Amino acid sequence: MPEPSLLLVGATAFGAACLAVMALARLAPKVGLVDHPGGRKRHHAVVPLVGGIAIYLGVLATYLLWIDFRALGLTYQVACGAMVVVGVADDHQDITPTKRLALQAAIAVGLILYTGQAVTDLGDLFGLGTISLGWASLPFTIVSMVALINAFNMMDGLDGLAGGVGILAFAAVAVLAVMVGHAELAKIATAFVGAIAGFMYFNAPIKLIRRRLVFMGDAGSTLLGFAFAACAMTLVNSRGGNVPPPLILWLVAIPIFELFTSTFRRAARGMSPMEADTGHYHHRLMDAGWPVAAISAFYFLFSALSVSIGLGLYTTQVSDPVIFFSFLAWYGLWNLFVLKLPRDRRRKRRERTA
């Protein structure tokens, strides 16, 4: 079989994901896999929670057609499937945060042990030499994977946010995989780009698709976080690629920002880090009067800029400390802009009269 182009790989995943969404959206109400309006939710009708399953099926179809299982192993696809199952169970009937974290960690452990891959060092973050993790490699990798899973989950609060950021993150992985000569990883990342784009056709905040609206649900957001973490781990461990670990931060800037800010905010308030609230960045933008489409576009453009900076830093071969400390500065600029936005007067007036 001739080697497929990345365009063909992405197109296959896109088409398969679109077909999966259309089929599953009809089935979802019959099995109770839907999101009901009310509470903190903005939608006004029952919406199918099938986007995550559709993304997975889109990637799976691409795997079966174009990707050499021997190159990266069937383990990746099985682990992603297990993560989707946990997410679907959570979407259908809420799983307690403790049980959900335990299941996510168990899947991460299985992937790490079976593939033999883990984050063994943090690079030369402070210019004092490579920080080797030693015995802490396994627990650090597990915690990092679970953190990324929940970072994407935290960000999935409005149409188009997690999907748009996910497309750019996997596209960046594909570019880096091509640069380091890892063809199969490039195809896997491209498959995710195409599958997420197929889902986004039914989720982007555009009026024309409101009647076909579907959500990715926890199955989708946790899949994106886990799959990206697995791809990033493979990328960092690629022989001869010399992809520094801190570079990965630039590829998922907003999820990382969300994770740290939300964790510290909740801890400061005496809340559990897993407890939902309305203090996320997208809530701040909504409070400032931004419409959903504008927030989605802002997230996408900021992520595109972050990814471009990250790739630029890699191609110019700057040192690890520059990559790391410039990312911290980027985090500060993001907070300086978003957290200082004034609240919309109309929203304040509605809250006073409510």
Give the dihedral of Cα atoms 302, 304, 305, 309; nearest 10 deg.
Answer: 140
Residue extents of the structural domains in the chain:
6-353
As a whole number, mean pLDDT of residues 230-257 equals: 90
CA–CA separation, 315 and 194 (whole Å) = 25
pLDDT given for residue 124 in this prediction? 93
- φ, ψ at 158 (rounded to 5°): -140, 155
Could you read off the pLDDT of 280-318 as tens digits, one per residue? 899 899 989 999 889 999 999 999 999 999 999 999 999
Could you read off the pLDDT of 27-68 as tens digits, one per residue? 999 988 998 764 445 545 689 999 999 999 999 999 888 877
pLDDT given for residue 43 in this prediction? 46
C-alpha distances in Å from residue 205, one per residue of 33, 63, 151, 171, 328 = 21, 29, 21, 21, 30
pLDDT given for residue 69 in this prediction? 62
Identify which has the larger pLDDT, 71 or 87: 87
What whole-number percentage of the chain has pLDDT above 70? 89
CA–CA separation, 7 and 121 (whole Å) = 34
Could you read off the pLDDT of 164-197 as tens digits, one per residue? 999 999 999 999 999 998 888 999 999 999 999 9
As a whole number, mean pLDDT of residues 336-341 equals: 89
H helix runs in 131-209, sequence order: 137-155, 161-180, 183-200
CA–CA separation, 40 and 31 (whole Å) = 24
CB 261 within 8 A of CB 281: yes
210 burial type by CB count under 10 A (0-12 exposed, 13-18 middle, 19+ buried): exposed
Q: How far is CA 49 from the centre of its chain?
A: 17
Please give the structure tokens belonging to residue 241. 């690629």
pLDDT given for residue 351 in this prediction? 47
| Mean of pLDDT over the chain | 88
Q: What is the DSSP string of 179-200?
A: HHT-HHHHHHHHHHHHHHHHHH
